[in-house]
């Protein structure tokens, strides 16, 4: 598709310099959305329940840290944030940068990069 990174449609402006939060980014469609946004130059907060610190109740081996690494390898900046989107307190805490605890303001996130969590619960 005519030179736009990440196979975005030609009418879509690449998210270079944008910030996206992808819920359910541990595996499947969420992971691929995160990686494609990274390939297009975005900073991606990859959220999900399975991390190297502990798996979700589904006990799958994929982790949000792996997704963040794939985003970075694709050319973006991947940031893993462990969040169970069914627990409101975790969702509120998950909107903060994991290193410096600065809030991820809605105005900096790209609303076109939304994916509801899949999870299986």
pLDDT in tens, the chain (121 residues): 344 455 656 656 666 678 898 999 999 999 999 999 999 999 999 999 999 988 888 888 999 999 999 999 999 999 999 988 888 888 777 655 444 434 444 444 444 444 444 444 4
Look up the pTM and report it.
Answer: 0.69
The residues with which 19 forms a beta bridge, in sequence order, are 43, 109
The residues spanned by each domain of the chain are 14-102
Extract the tokens encoding 66: 């792996």
Q: What is the 3-state secondary structure (H, E, C) of 27-65?
A: CHHHHHHHHHHHHCCCEEEEEECCECCECCCCCCCCCHH
- Please give the CATH topology (third level) of the domain spanning 14-102: Rossmann fold (3.40.50)
Burial class (CB in 10 A: 0-12, 13-18, 19+), 93: middle
pLDDT at residue 95 in the model: 58
pLDDT score for 44: 94
Question: Of 98, 88, 103, nearest to 64 (Cα)?
Answer: 98
């Amino acid at each position: 598709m005519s030179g736009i990174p990440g196979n975005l449609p030609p009418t879509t402006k690449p998210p270079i310099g944008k910030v996206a939060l992808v819920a359910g980014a541990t595996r499947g469609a969420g992971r691929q959305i995160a990686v494609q946004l990274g390939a297009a130059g975005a900073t991606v907060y990859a959220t999900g329940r399975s991390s190297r610190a502990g798996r979700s109740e589904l006990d799958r081996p994929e982790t949000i840290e792996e997704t963040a690494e794939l985003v970075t390898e694709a050319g973006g900046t991947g940031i893993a944030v462990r969040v169970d989107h069914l627990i409101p307190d975790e969702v509120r805490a998950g909107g903060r940068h994991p290193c410096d605890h600065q809030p991820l303001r809605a105005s900096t996130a790209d609303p076109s990069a939304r994916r509801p969590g899949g999870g299986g619960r």
